[in-house]
Amino acid sequence: MPATPLTKIVSVKFTVFAVFTALAIFTVSGCAYQTTSQVGESDPQIVTSANDSRDYHYFSLPNQLRVLVISDPTTDKAAASLDVNVGSGSNPASRPGLAHFLEHMLFLGTEKYPTAGEYQAFISEHGGSHNAFTSLEHTNYFFDIDPDFLAPMLDRFAQFFTAPLFNAEYVEREKHAVDSEYQSKRKSDGHRQRDVLKATTNPMHPFSKFYVGSLETLEDRPDASVRDALLAFYDEYYSASRMTLVVVGQAPVAELEQLVREKFSAIPDSKPALAPADAPLFTPGTLPLWVNVEPVKEMRNLVLQFPIPDVQPHYLAKPTGYLGNLLGHEGRGSLLSELKTRGLAEGLSAGLGTAGDGFAMFRIGISLTEAGNAKLDEIIALTFAAIERVADQGITDWRFDEQARLSMLAFEFQEKGGAMHYATRLAGALHDYPYRDVLRAPYAMDHYQPELLREYLAHLNPQNLLATHVAMDLETDQVSPRFDANYSAVKIPDSRIAQWTGNAQAANLHLPDRNPFIPEDLASLDAGMDVEAIPAKIITKPGFELWHKVDASFNTPRANFYFAIRSPIANDTPAHAVLAGLMVRGINEQLNEFSYPARLAGLDYQLYKHLRGVTVRISGYHDKQDILLDKLTGVIRQGEVDADKFALHKAELIRSLKNQSQDTPSSQAWNKLSSLLISPSWDDTALLEAAASISVADLRAYIPQFLEKIEIVTLANGNLSVQQALAMASKLEQVFLADATPQKVARALVAKLDPQARLLYQFDVDHSDSSIVSYFQGNDRSIPTRALFSLANQLIKTPFYHQLRTQQQLGYIVQSAAMPILEAPALGFIIQSPNSSGGELDTHINNFISQFITQLQDMPKDEFERNRQALIIRLTEQDKQLSQRSSRYWHEIDRSNFAFDTRQQLVAAVRAIDKQEFGKLLNEYLVKDRLRHLTIIAQGQLHPSAPDQLGDYREFKDIRVLQEAGRYF
C-alpha cells in the first residue's frame, strides 16, 4: 500500500437523476464518439469512444457519495475503487503520515468482519487482488474479484467506510509496517529528491508535509494516543461527500446501482468539500532558487521547474500538454537533439510536473552527460532559447489541431485495460472532471486558445525558476528532514540569470514539422474472423520463420510485428553480453530522431537485448509500419558506430551496472537468484570487468560477427493481412539473411539444484534492511509440477503475508510467489526487513512452512476447492489488449510450444491435483526432504551475519558454482 506523492484533485458536485440509456453519435475533430444519454433533471451525457461497448451510469446517493457503475458483460473480473478526497496534505501538523497510516488500518478488521486478514483471504480465494495508495490529496482503495462474488465483496469493502475497528492491537503493530515502508525507501533517490523539494517549498503549504509516516511520527504520547488521532482523522475527513466510487461488473447498470445503494448508503455525510490551500507553493521571494542534491546512485540530472496557475480548469485546452509536446520533442532540430549534438545530454522530458488543487509546476528534466554536468549554464541558456522559439513561432492552430487529432485517435481506438485499473483511474478522475467528460477528459483538446498558451508560457522565465542539480560530489550544507538527503539551496543572482538570456547560440533549434506518421488508413480487417484461432506458421526456411494471425477482436486498426535476431554470440561471454547491449544502445540512439514523430502518432517500437540475441517489437497503428521497419532494418544492418556516442553509451552502461548495488536489498537478492541459476548469465562484477576494456573498435568488429550466423523468428498479429505480413518478412530476409549463415541458437539453461544439499549464498548490501529469497525448485519442468507450485503459492500467499507481515511485523516487503525461471517451476519466499537478520528471516520462513503443512492436512475441502478455482480464474484471465495477446504468443514461440496452449494445459493439471497427494508432495519439497532449496541473503548494515542461525546450509561464494555443476533442466 504505497504512499505516493501527488494526484491532482478538484471536487465537483452533481445532482441525483433518474437514468435510462440511449445512444447518440457526434463528431469532434473528425473522430466519432458515442454518448450514453441519460434522461434526468439535466439530461447528462457521458461521452464514450466508438470502440467502447460498456454501459455507464452515473448517480449520487442521498449521502452525496458520487458513483459511476459500469456494466461489461465480457469482463472476467469485477472491480471497484473508492477514492477519498483526502490525503497526506491533510495530515495534522503533530501527526505526519497519519492519512497513510489510516489507509493501512482499514484493512485490519471491521465490526461486521472483525478478523484481520479475512478481507484479503476472501479476495484471494476468489481469484482477485487488492491494494490502496495515499497521495497528497486523496486516498484510493481498490480490488478485483470473480464477478460472481462482487456482491459479498462490496459488502466487505463498504464496511471500511462505515464501521472500521481500529483494533488497538493492530494499531500498535501496523505502526511498524508503516515504519518498515518508510525505512525501505530511505535510500530511494526519488523519495530523497522529493523530500528536498518539499523542504524548499512554503512550509505552510500542504505539499510540504511528510507523507509516509514513521515510528517517531506515529508514537503514542502521554496526552495523545495515535489511535485517538486515527479516530479523530477518520471522523473529520472520511465523509461520503468527499468520496467517489466506481464499480465494474457483468450485471446491468440497474442491478449494479441497486447493489451500491444497499452497501454504501450508510456511509456518513457530514463534511463539505475541502478548500484549496490558501498559501502559495513557494514563499514570496524564494525564487529564483538553485538547489544541489547529492544522490545515492550515480546520476546527473538537471530539473528546471516553474510554478504555474492551476491547469485543471483548462483540461479542454491542455496548455501544459501542448507546450510540453513542443519543448519535449526529440526529433531533428529539437532542444534534446541540439543538446545531444553538443554531447551535453542523454535524455529530456517536459510537461506538467507537481500539481494539486490550486497549484502546479511545469517541469523540464534533463539527464546529463559528464560534459553536460560541467556546462549547466550553456544548457539552461539553450533551454530558454527553445522557450523563446516556441513563443515566437510555436503557437499555431495547425500544431494544436495535429495534437488534438492524435489525442482523439488515441481515445477513439483505446483498448480495454484491467477492470481494477480502469475503476481506480476513473474514481480519481471523478474528482477532476465533470462526469460527462470523465472518460475522454485526459484526451480532449477541444479549444485552441493562443492567449492561454502564451499566458502559461510566460511563467517559464528565469525569475520564476527552481533549478535542481542532482549529481555526486556537489557542495551541500543541509540535510533533508525525512530522507536524509544532502542538499543546498541558494538564491540565483541576477548576474547568472543574465548569462541565460539572449546569449545562446541556438541557430540549429527549430520547431517540429508536420508529423508524417499520422495514420491515414484506419480500416480494420474482417472482425468476423476466427478470434479463437492460433498463429499459423506461413514461412519455414533455414534460419527464418514467420508466424501470422489476423486478430480483429479488439476492433482497432493496430498490429504487432515482432522479430528476434538470434545469434550464438549474443551472450556467450561477458564481453559479448556487454557488446550486444552497447549495440542496442547505439541503434536506439540512431533511430530516436526518426522514430519520435511515429511514437507521437501511435506507432512505436522497442529494441532490446535478451539471452539469445535482440528483439524488435513494432506496435501501434498498422498504417506506415513498413516505413518504420525499413528504417529499423537499415540502421541495424549498417552497423555504424559513432566514437563519441560509443563513449557516452559505455559510460551509461557502466554507471547503470554500478548503480545496481544501490537497489533495494530485495531487488538485489532477486537479481542474484537469476544470475545464479541461468546459464549463460553474468553478474555485475563480470560485466563491469568486461566493459572496462571494451573499445569502439571491438564494437565495430562485433556487429558484423553478430549478424554472420543468425536465425530470425517473426510474429505478425493484429490488423495485418497475410500479404502485408509476407511483404514485411521479405524485407527482413533481404536485409539480414542474404549474406548470413542460418544457425539454430539454443535457449539458455536453468541450473537444476542438488537435491542432497540446501544451498546458501550471502552478500552484504549498503542498506540498513536485510532481505532473503528462499527458493524451492521443482524436480522437472512438466506441466503437473508447474501446476503444483502455482497452487502451492495460491494457498500460501495470504497466510504467509498475514502471519509474517501483519502479525510478526517482519517488514513492509513480505510475499510468496511462484517463481518459474525459463519454465523451471519453483516457489519463493521474499522478505525485506529493517529489524531482522537474514538468518532470523530464514527461521521465520521455515517455521511458517512447517506450520502451514500441518494446517494443510486439516484444511476443509471447500477451502481447498475455492483456492483451486481462484487459481484457474487467474490462469484463464482473458487478454485485455492486442499487445498482451501478442506477448503471450511470443513467449509460446520462444518456448517452442506451437500449440499455444500452455494456459489450457496448466488449467487441466490444476483440476487434476488431488488434495492428499498435493499435501504429500508439498511436504517433501518444503519440509521433509527440502529438495532443491537455495537461500539468498542480502545482509544489511544493521544485521551482521550470524552463521549459527542458518542451520545445515552449504554456503558457496562463487557465482559460477551452480552453472559449473553441469545439472540443467
Active site residues: 103
CA distances from 554 to 425, 537, 579, 717, 881 (A): 21, 22, 39, 12, 7
Rounded distance, CA 26 to CA 421, Å? 28
Rounded distance, CA 795 to CA 800, Å? 9
Alpha helices for 332-475 (secondary structure H)? 335-341, 376-389, 397-412, 419-432, 450-458
Rounded distance, CA 743 to CA 753, Å? 30
Rounded distance, CA 641 to CA 704, Å? 12
Q: What's the longest Cα–Cα distance across the chain?
A: 82
Q: Phi/psi of residue 777, each to 5°?
A: -100, 145
From its phi and psi, is residue 844 left (phi > 0), alpha (psi between -120 and 50) or beta?
Answer: alpha
Residue type at 572?
D
In terms of Cα–Cα distance, which of 363, 434, 450, 447 is closest to 407?
Answer: 447
Tell me 735's DSSP state.
Answer: I
Sequence-ordered list of residues with C-beta below 8 angstroms from that of 896, at least 6 positions apart, any chain:
none
> E strands along 637-708, which residues?
678-679
Rounded distance, CA 207 to CA 195, Å? 10
Q: How many CA atoms lie within 13 A of 645 on its CB side?
A: 17
Rounded (5°) CA angle 619-620-621: 135
Handedness of CA 62, 67, 68, 72 (dihedral sign): negative
Rounded distance, CA 765 to CA 784, Å? 38
Cα–chain center distance at 719: 27
Cα–chain center distance at 522: 29
In terms of Cα–Cα distance, which of 306, 162, 332, 315 is closest to 235?
Answer: 162
Q: Provide the 10 A C-beta neighbour count for residue 288.
A: 18
Which cell goes with 529?
474472423
What angle do the packed helices 625-638 and 574-600 form, to 10 degrees? 150
In terms of Cα–Cα distance, which of 735, 710, 705 is closest to 543?
Answer: 710
As beta bridge partners, residue 774 has 829, 935
Rounded distance, CA 299 to CA 293, Å? 11
